[in-house]
Chain A
Amino acid sequence: MSTPPTSDAPLLEAVGVGVEFTTRGGTVATALDGVDVAVRPGEILALVGESGSGKTTLARTLVGMQRPTRGEVRYEGKPLSYSHRSMKQVCREVQMVLQDASGSLNPRQTVYESVAEGIRLQKRVADDPEGRSEPEMVAAALAEAGLRPPERVFLRSPHELSGGQKQRVLIAGALALRPRLLVADEPVSSLDASIRGEILALLLGLRESLGLGIVVVTHDVGLAWNIADRIAVMYLGRVVECGTTEEVLERPRHPYTQALLSVVPEIEELTPVVLRGEVPDPTRIPGGCRFHPRCPAYADGTADEAGIVDSCRATPLPVLAATGDHRVACHLVSERDS
């Protein structure tokens, strides 16, 4: 049931993107520290990581909500310019569904108005090839998002909708602009388990029917297994492993990915490797390989045996390229491969 991407040239890519936030006290938090990521038309990419990994920041940077401190984001090969006009243009091509489904809908607007907002802002009625009116476009978007018959929800307020319905309304609002790429930040994490499958099936269905490319930000590897073509695993602002879903999830090579997969209860084959401590503060990123303080291979002597302990501690790793085959940012892996 999977459709391969329609072309090889990336539709949206981040090139060497870095994002830093300066807190009021003056300390600098590095949310993204050099990331290369690319999405091809019709491809589903999952950005997987825990909190502090920078995945949400990367998603917001990709849609233009966040200006990178270094590097650039390119749409169809052209870098984004952050002028109001060009951003408005980008809105028509790349849309995002935010993490908090409940808070993303204006409580004083009906479903109709929430979905029509984008249409009105982008004046899509004027240049609709099929010459539809606004209510028709709203109904079409809601129907595409699985709310049928759409007229039944036109007048509902957000508080009258269930979690799944709210998420569909948000997706409809994004679809109404006919984007070519949709970024979904934790699309199902706030929803009941039994509704998850439906929303994920909807996203897959949109790829099938509209050729929509999707970037899914999630902490849930099961979700990535369900719908993603490719995965980029992120840790503390960098991509540490990326490749196709099968490659990364069935044959993980980075110690972090391996640990992450080992604690996911759905997999019985791997012995759980529960890492100690928590993800470090983005204001104090460890030197060398940023994962080395928590790396099981560093702690249990494997790195020692391979003779790369000093590299782990002091040598920073290069930014992983966005496309190509299964790549890993790890000194141990590079050592073993060479």
Chain B
Amino acid sequence: MTTTAPRLSARRIARRRRAAAWRRNWKLFRGHRSGLIGFVILGIFVVVALAAPLLADADGLKVTKATGGVLESPSSEFWLGTDENGRSVLTMLIWGTRISLLVGLVATAISMVIGTVIGLVSGFFEGWTARLLYRLTEWFLVIPFLPLAIILAVVLGRSLLNIAVVIGVTSWPATALLIRSQTLSIKERPYIERARLLGAGRWHQMTRHVLPNVTPMVFANTTLTVAVAILSETTLSFLGLGDPTRVSWGSMLEGAFGVGAMTTGSWWYIVPPGICVVLVVLAFTLIGQALEEIFNPRLRSR
């Protein structure tokens, strides 16, 4: 039987499907007021982080180039006052945005990659590899985060990358468990069996069928993980494990604590970084919740 050759090629079809899916999800997302608020807040911080050189002079971070007095309260020259070294708190805040966001994202990337791979494999395969990976996940989950992070940070040394690695390596189990349970349920769906019937091997089933169906949940989970990662970075920097040469919100809090900013009443040193952390974490959480509702229709309110 002859048919006229269709004008659509396979690749164009795949592209069109993805574009249509994006459009649909964006439309759903737009309907979520809280998600949009989170998106806007995050957007502001991302812009600040990217435009840091334009907004504040990098020299302002150098202790040797500090021009202000010690712990000056906010004035027209220093909008948010100065720290104990005379640096502008506002400058530090702006540049700190970069570090906090960057570390958060890198840590999340590490965590998601490890978590997804382990979750997929331990959920999809049977046999002792899968069981071993599952036990590993449980084991890591049980270990208290902070002590492990502190030990690793001390062992690896104090640098930005190490902090990201530490957070990534300690926070993957939650993701792995989520993905494993999703994989377990998707594995039983009839379309997996159909793929087998058509001749698909395990790898094809896992990557072409399970993974795409697991990805939406992963995506929603990622944003929540970033929030946790940023909080973790702040915590670790506050505890003095961060990179001493870089300014982040956590290190600002560390500094503030170190000079007793609370007793001296230097609120401009403590409150801004704290608020920033809260806002960013809130933004990611709101976005994450909106995404979860979009990708998991069962959570949608009627």
> So, do A and B actually touch in the complex, CB under 8 Å?
yes
A117: CB under 8 A from chain B? yes
Contact with A104, one of B9, B20, B194 (Cβ below 8 angstroms): B194
Chain A residues 69-119 with CB under 8 Å of chain B are 84, 87-88, 91-92, 95-96, 98-100, 103-110, 112-113, 116-118
Q: A107-B213, A121-B198, A121-B200 are in contact. Are A134 and B10 (CB under 8 A)?
A: yes
A288: CB under 8 A from chain B? no
A57 to chain B, nearest CB (A): 14
Residues of chain B within 8 A of A84, CB atoms compared:
201
A177 touches B17 (CB 8 A): no
Mark interface residues in B200-211 (1 if CB within 8 Å of A CB, else 0). Answer: 110010001100
A154 touches B13 (CB 8 A): yes
B215 to chain A, nearest CB (A): 8
B198 touches A122 (CB 8 A): yes
Residue of A nearest to B17 (CB): A110
A155 touches B198 (CB 8 A): no
B148: CB under 8 A from chain A? no
B1: CB under 8 A from chain A? yes
Contact with A118, one of B13, B17, B20, B199 (Cβ below 8 angstroms): B199
Q: A121-B198, A140-B3, A150-B3 are in contact. Are A155 and B204 (CB under 8 A)?
A: no
Q: A100-B190, A104-B191 are in contact. Are A154 and B199 (CB under 8 A)?
A: no
Q: A113-B13, A134-B10, A135-B5 are in contact. Are A106 and B213 (CB under 8 A)?
A: yes
A299 to chain B, nearest CB (A): 40
Q: A105-B191, A106-B213, A143-B1 are in contact. Are A118 and B6 (CB under 8 A)?
A: no
Residues of chain B within 8 A of A144, CB atoms compared:
1
A136: CB under 8 A from chain B? yes
Q: A103-B189, A108-B213, A155-B16 are in contact. Are A117 and B8 (CB under 8 A)?
A: no
B13 touches A155 (CB 8 A): yes
Contact with A151, one of B6, B10, B200 (Cβ below 8 angstroms): B6
A322 to chain B, nearest CB (A): 24
Interface residues on A, range: 35 or more
B197: CB under 8 A from chain A? yes
A154 touches B198 (CB 8 A): no
Residues of chain B within 8 A of A91, CB atoms compared:
197-199
Chain A residues 156-174 with CB under 8 Å of chain B are 157, 170, 173
Cα-based distance from A21 to B193 in the complex (angstroms): 18
Cα-based distance from A151 to B198 in the complex (angstroms): 22
B65: CB under 8 A from chain A? no
Residues of chain B within 8 A of A92, CB atoms compared:
199
Residues of chain B within 8 A of A105, CB atoms compared:
191, 194
Interface residues in B, total, Cβ within 8 A: 29
Q: Considering residues B6, B16, B200, which has the most beta carbons from chain A within 10 angstroms of its beta carbon?
A: B6
Q: A136-B6, A139-B3 are in contact. Are A121 and B199 (CB under 8 A)?
A: yes
Q: Considering residues A87, A88, A117, which has the most beta carbons from chain B within 10 angstroms of its beta carbon?
A: A117
B195: CB under 8 A from chain A? yes
A135 touches B199 (CB 8 A): no
Chain A residues 51-66 with CB under 8 Å of chain B are 63, 65
Mark interface residues in A169-192 (1 if CB within 8 Å of B CB, else 0). Answer: 010010001000000000000000
A297 to chain B, nearest CB (A): 40
B298 to chain A, nearest CB (A): 14
Cα-based distance from A95 to B13 in the complex (angstroms): 26
A133: CB under 8 A from chain B? yes
Residue of A nearest to B191 (CB): A106
Chain B residues 6-50 with CB under 8 Å of chain A are 6, 8-10, 13-14, 16-17, 20
B100 to chain A, nearest CB (A): 34
Cα-based distance from A144 to B3 in the complex (angstroms): 11
Cα-based distance from A155 to B199 in the complex (angstroms): 23
Mark interface residues in A215-250 (1 if CB within 8 Å of B CB, else 0). Answer: 000000000000000000000000000000000000
Residues of chain B within 8 A of A135, CB atoms compared:
5-6, 8-10
Residue of A nearest to B204 (CB): A121
B195 touches A65 (CB 8 A): no
Residues of chain B within 8 A of A110, CB atoms compared:
13-14, 17
A107 to chain B, nearest CB (A): 7
Q: A136-B3, A151-B8, A155-B13 are in contact. Are A106 and B209 (CB under 8 A)?
A: yes
Chain A: residues with CB nearer than 8 A to chain B?
63, 65, 84, 87-88, 91-92, 95-96, 98-100, 103-110, 112-113, 116-118, 121-122, 133-136, 139-140, 143-144, 150-151, 154-155, 157, 170, 173, 177
4 extra interchain contacts, Cβ-Cβ under 8 A, other than A98-B193, A106-B213, A121-B199? Answer: A87-B199, A103-B190, A110-B17, A154-B8
Q: Can you identify 28 A-B contacts, CB atoms within 8 angstroms?
A: A87-B199, A92-B199, A98-B194, A99-B190, A100-B190, A104-B193, A106-B195, A106-B212, A106-B213, A110-B17, A112-B10, A113-B13, A121-B198, A121-B204, A133-B5, A134-B10, A135-B5, A135-B6, A135-B8, A135-B10, A136-B6, A140-B1, A140-B3, A143-B3, A150-B3, A154-B8, A173-B198, A177-B198
